[in-house]
Amino acid sequence: MKKIAFFDTKAYDKYWFDKINAGRYDIHYFENKLTADTASLAKGCDGVCAFVNDTIDRQAVETLVSEGVKVLAMRCAGYSNVDFKAAYGKLHVVRVPAYSPYAVAEHAFGLLLTVNRKLHRAYNRTRDFNFSIVGLTGIDLRGKTIGIIGTGKIGEAMIDIAKGFGMRVVAYDLYPKKDADFEYLPLDELLKQSDVISLHCPLSDSTYHILDRAAFQKMKDGVFIINTSRGALVETEALLEALNAKKVRGAGLDVYEEEGDLFFEDYSGEIIQDDLLALLVSRPNVVLTAHQAFLTEEALSNIAETTLGNLDDFFAGKPLKNEVCYYCHGPKKEGCKRGDQARCF
């Protein structure tokens, strides 16, 4: 039986992986995040399962490989935390490209509804038997323009929800879909026209701080910002400045660019040494959740099934349809030596 080291384990991970695994792998669960310092815990294991906030840098990769690990199974869609240059030729990297786009899109729209109609503030008031509704005014979303940055499966699910609310949809993507039933715009034009901007693109060199100071200056006054993708898509200091200037009416965030050492853990009894995060949380027009957009029973089940299926394919010598290609990373590039179903190396 193959042994798998499972890092950054939470109770819901263990429940669903044990349920789907049903004894076909010997899974060793660790609460530690996978880093260069903890990679040695995988000694004697054939594979490793990691998550979005693990730090899989060159040193971590080299340690994993020296301990005999041959495959890194990311139980998430993102992989910007993996050093692929170090992994290429030594460690295959597979991922879960889609677990439940509906879960993430529904959470994103929930954030929009909450920050617009100030549901978080209303809830806190009524808990204290304060039934005043002064200061809780929102806007109608019907007829407003929502700009979707990234039109993959999650972006498309968000578009469907927005259309159900009677919103006008415009979109931006480096790889536009053919025959889309919504309008693509250049990024600058999307920024100018949108009443709501929702981020659904992966993090890469081209999307890092895609919403920076210059981008905020191009937006309408009173725009809503929604981010359920990756924290570093938004320049946090620029967002705070835009909130202070009332350029941004409100922000719904499920991610934060410096979340790696904070999210998924309980620090309620400690003083957080992150002034930018403290400022965000203190804003009455910011709703921050801790990277939970994916967290539905359906998504957790799909994550476990796909991750274990990726491992099955690897150990059986089958093509790895969910392998992240070192050469391409995104859509297949001209000159890539990997076939449609072949392995990266």
| Dihedral sign of CA atoms 144, 145, 147, 148 in order | positive
Q: Among this protein's residues, is 265 annotated catalytic?
A: no
Tokens of 141: 């979303």
- Which of 156, 235, 257, 259 is catalytic? The answer is 259
For residue 39, the one-letter residue type is A
Calpha distance 217→234 (Å, rounded): 14
Residue 34 gets which letter from DSSP? Answer: P
- Which of 92, 249, 291, 323 is catalytic? The answer is 291
Distance of CA 299 to the CA centre of its chain: 13
Strand partners, 49: 6, 73
Calpha distance 172→193 (Å, rounded): 12
Which residue bears the tokens 């715009």? 185
Q: Among this protein's residues, is 259 annotated catalytic?
A: yes
Calpha distance 85→66 (Å, rounded): 16
Strand partners, 162: none
Calpha distance 176→150 (Å, rounded): 9
- Which of 95, 230, 257, 323 is catalytic? The answer is 230
The full DSSP string for 260-310 is TTTTTS--TTS----HHHHHHHH-TTEEE--S-TT-SHHHHHHHHHHHHHH
Calpha distance 257→263 (Å, rounded): 11
Q: Among this protein's residues, is 291 annotated catalytic?
A: yes
Question: Which residues are identified as catalytic?
Answer: 230, 259, 291
